Amino acid sequence: MSLERSIRPLERLQTLRECLDRKGFARILEAHSGISAIIAESARIQKDGEVIEYDGIWESSLTDSATKGLPDASIVGYDSRIHTIDEILNVTTKPVIVDGDTGVEPVLFEYLVKRLERLGVSAVIIEDKVYPKRNSLDEFANQDLEPPAVFAQKIKAGKEVAVTNEFMIIARLESLIAGKGVQDALDRAEQYILAGVDGIMIHSNKQDPAEILSFAEAYRPLCQRLGRRPHLVCVPTTYNTMTEAELISIGFNIIIHANHLLRAAYKAMAEAARTILMSGRSLEADALCAPVKDIFSMVGYDHIIRKDRERSELFRLLERENNGVAPRPGYSR
Ligand code: SPV
Ligand code: MG
């Protein structure tokens, strides 16, 4: 129920670090709207006697843009993104990680960090590509990287603006996406770690996880040499033969399932739209749709109706005490 899902911003902000300290990893699912965030927050299963759920929510540039019918190419601006983020925060309690795209440039990034931290977002991830970026899953797009020293300045600027120790700035390495290889990613990771990042995300759009595996293997000695190990983050969209357990065993701390609710909704919506056209009525589409009562209960409509009934009861009592005169005309039905 939306109204009951409530938490103070600072309290929420801290819960991602707490989760990582407690379990060593966080399982994150994408959301692009209030309703998808409610699903990400409340999905829960029992497996081998254990309750399994998501530890937090990824606010994705790809799916936020696609929800608006727009491409993921730095077109949807931060004000609009913050509107979606606020919509998600309004109906959930779990930590939120925001996809900050490139962060644009240091001044814009500073203002973004300030706004996200104030809202209670736990982390922002920025990628070391040149603004305006293209989506990383597009293997044919130009994927130009920013010089690492320039990107490191942006990280430092963001770190200086953050007012809590808990808010995390995570650097996303796009070397593998740009075809520059694992060594380029490691060299960049070193500069970003020295600049003070709280996490390193290594991204790949290949089905074969070989490069991801070799980065993860080299990450440990790199961090040992630098004396600090920021959390390691991955987005296994293309190499999704790997399980979470396997990714955790090679050192990943945050695993982001980055676009699955939007893709699932898109497929179901397209099928429902076609089915109604084919049948000339909506009966056949019912099987593809959740019952309205499920939506009512998910978003808190049931709660309002319960409260309405309680209030009507009270007004009926007052009316009786008042010799049949309604305390507020039209209310006691
Ligand atoms: C997103 O979800 O917007 C991401 C991850 O940035 S990806 O689409 O794989 O680049
Ligand atoms: Mg993105």
Question: pLDDT digits over 153-185, tens only?
Answer: 999 999 999 999 999 999 999 999 999 999 999
What pLDDT is attached to residue 4? 82
Residue 108 amino acid letter: L
Q: Using the predicted structure, report yes or no on whether residue 5 has a pLDDT greater than 50.
A: yes
Question: pLDDT digits over 85-128, tens only?
Answer: 999 999 999 999 999 999 999 999 999 999 999 999 999 999 99
- Most confident residue range from 138-142, 275-279, 323-327: 275-279
Q: Which domain holds residue 313?
A: 300-333
Q: Using the predicted structure, report yes or no on whether residue 257 has a pLDDT greater than 80.
A: yes
Question: pLDDT digits over 285-299, tens only?
Answer: 999 999 999 999 999
Is residue 263, in this structure, part of any structural domain at all? no
Is residue 106, in this structure, part of any structural domain at all? yes
Would you place residue 258 in the very low, low, confident or very high pLDDT band (cuts 50, 70, 90)?
A: very high
Q: Are 214 and 327 in a shared domain?
A: no
Q: Which token pair is 242?
A: 């790997």
Task: Please state the pTM of the whole predicted model.
Answer: 0.95
Question: pLDDT digits over 192-203, tens only?
Answer: 999 999 999 999
Ligand 1 centre and the CA of 63: distance in Å? 8
Say which DSSP state 63 is in: H
Is residue 285, in this structure, part of any structural domain at all? no
What pLDDT is attached to residue 264? 98
Please give the sequence-ordered ranges of beta strands (E in DSSP) within the chain, or none if there are none.
26-31, 44-47, 50-53, 56-59, 96-99, 123-127, 168-173, 199-202, 231-234, 254-257
Q: Which token pair is 77?
A: 């601006």
Among 30, 137, 206, 239, which residue has the most ligand 1 atoms within 8 Å of its CB, making it the best to mutate?
A: 137
Among 68, 74, 203, which residue has the most ligand 1 atoms within 8 Å of its CB, making it the best to mutate?
A: 203
60 lines ligand 1 (CB under 6 A): yes
What pLDDT is attached to residue 331? 53
Say which DSSP state 285 is in: G
Would you place residue 269 in the very low, low, confident or very high pLDDT band (cuts 50, 70, 90)?
A: very high
Residue 252 belongs to a domain with what CATH number?
A: 3.20.20.60
Is residue 284, in this structure, part of any structural domain at all? no
Name the nearest CA neighbour of 81 among 108, 128, 105, 116.
116
Q: Are 19 and 162 in a shared domain?
A: yes
What value does the mean pLDDT take over residues 15-42?
Answer: 98
Q: How far apart are CA 201 and CA 114, in angstroms?
A: 21
Question: pLDDT digits over 213-254, tens only?
Answer: 999 999 999 999 999 999 999 999 999 999 999 999 999 999
Would you place residue 324 in the very low, low, confident or very high pLDDT band (cuts 50, 70, 90)?
A: confident
Mark which of 193, 228, 258 sits at the end of a domain. 258
Share of the chain above pLDDT 70, in %: 98
Q: Are 308 and 210 in a shared domain?
A: no
Q: Are 324 and 233 in a shared domain?
A: no
DSSP 170-186: EEEE-TTTTT-HHHHHH
What pLDDT is attached to residue 333? 47
Question: Tokens 């290889």 identify what position?
Answer: 181
Q: Are 127 and 41 in a shared domain?
A: yes
What pLDDT is attached to residue 1? 66
Ligand 2 centre and the CA of 74: distance in Å? 9
Question: Please, what is the average pLDDT of the chain?
Answer: 96
Q: How many folded domains does the chain comprise?
A: 2
Would you place residue 326 in the very low, low, confident or very high pLDDT band (cuts 50, 70, 90)?
A: confident
Bridge partners (DSSP) of residue 27 are 255
**Active site positions, annotated:** 72
136 lines ligand 1 (CB under 6 A): yes
Mark which of 226, 242, 258 sits at the end of a domain. 258
Is residue 312, in this structure, part of any structural domain at all? yes
CA 251, 253, 254, 257 torsion-angle sign: positive
Q: Are 92 and 150 in a shared domain?
A: yes
Cβ(120)–Cβ(12) under 8 Å?
A: yes
What pLDDT is attached to residue 256? 99
Q: Which token pair is 186?
A: 């490691």
Cβ(231)–Cβ(247) under 8 Å?
A: no
Name the nearest CA neighbour of 168 among 146, 144, 192.
192
Mark which of 258, 278, 310 sits at the end of a domain. 258
Q: How far apart are CA 221 and CA 219, in angstroms?
A: 6
Q: Which residues line ion ligand 2, judged by CB < 5 Å?
A: 61-62, 99
